[in-house]
Amino acid sequence: MTESVSERLIVERWREARRLLEEGIGARLRELGEYDELGIHEYIVAGGKRLRGFATLLIAEAMGSSWSEALDAAVAVEIVHSASLAIDDVIDGDEVRRGRAAAWLKYGPGRAVMAANLLISFAQRLLLLRYGYRAVERSVVAWYDISRGEVLDAYTGRGGYLEVVRLKTGSLFRLAAELGGVVAGVDNERLSLLGRYGELMGVAYQLADDIVDYMRGERDGSVVRLLEWLGNPVNILEAALPRLRSLFAELDSLAQRLFRGFFARMASLLPRFVVKSMFREAGLEIPGL
């Protein structure tokens, strides 16, 4: 299978995953009933590329399960992700999210935070009821790490670039990969490797995101830490690409350890697809990735 054919296949599967995820998220949110009278929960979760949920589906399938079995896990990951963004926007004062007004600006900060809190606990309850203790345990650990990363990022001024990125972004990608393994019933050793795979994918994604923000002229805390980590280079892409390639090399090694044949190839392509989707959104085509 050539790379171009493989890339087309993963794009096709991502599009199908997005369709399933939108349907699944909508169906689950209807269970909130009167708690969403104003439509705020639907507003918070609307939009996005659904890359984390896609990773859950793909990994569950690669480990011997199915998309239908893993759909609720992928839905839970996407709900937690969207809720975390709503909280981030309140903390950072960001007024735009996914191309429209941030939830706190439209509904007020108090209501946005309360809705996000309900969504997170709703997602964890879904994981508990559908997949049991092992799934919700991984979710709690991930949310704890995400919250620690936010504290480092927004309030303490401590923590290097990789530490903050690993906590804030890597943790949720880690959860996405781990849940794919939980759904498939893998052992703890393999679950740990899946977690490492997901975490590295999240770091690569955030690196690409911060590069794009820099090239758009943004200079928030994450971009400043990135520049410091890279040694304040003249050319940020030239300095960052070796780091991305190093991440991909470790991801490729993990893919070969975790998967076989077709799925090993898909697992090597998935992090590259995640990173390229970020670059392409900004109109960038990066050779050699």
Task: Provide CB contacts within 8 A for 8, sequence distance 6+.
Answer: none
Domains and CATH numbers, the chain: 3-281 (1.10.600.10)
Beta-bridge partner residues of 96: 101
Q: What are residue 226's phi and psi, to 5 degrees? A: -60, -45
* pLDDT the model gives residue 281: 80
Task: Please give the Cα distance from 7 to 88 (Å, whole number).
Answer: 32
Q: At 18, is the pLDDT very low, low, confident or very high (cuts 50, 70, 90)?
A: very high
Q: How many CB atoms lie within 10 A of CB 118?
A: 17
Please give the model's pTM, rounded to 2 decimal places.
0.95
Please check the confidence at residue 1 and state whether its pLDDT lies above 50: no
Task: Provide CB contacts within 8 A for 120, sequence distance 6+.
Answer: 79, 80, 83, 84, 143
Selected residue with higher pLDDT from 33 and 178: 178
Dump pLDDT digits (tens) for 59-115: 999 999 999 999 999 999 999 999 999 999 999 899 999 999 999 999 999 999 999
Structure tokens at 29: 């949110």
Among all chains, which residue has been given the structure tokens 């090239």? 215
Q: What are residue 97's phi and psi, to 5 degrees? A: -140, 125
- The 3-state DSSP class for residue 233 equals coil
Decide: 267 and 62 in contact? Cβ < 8 Å. Answer: yes
Dump pLDDT digits (tens) for 244-254: 999 999 999 99
Dump pLDDT digits (tens) for 35-61: 777 789 999 999 999 999 999 999 999
Sign of the torsion angle spanned by Cα atoms 30, 180, 124, 148: negative
Buried b (16+ CB within 10 A) or exposed e, 28-44: bbeeeeeebeeebbebb
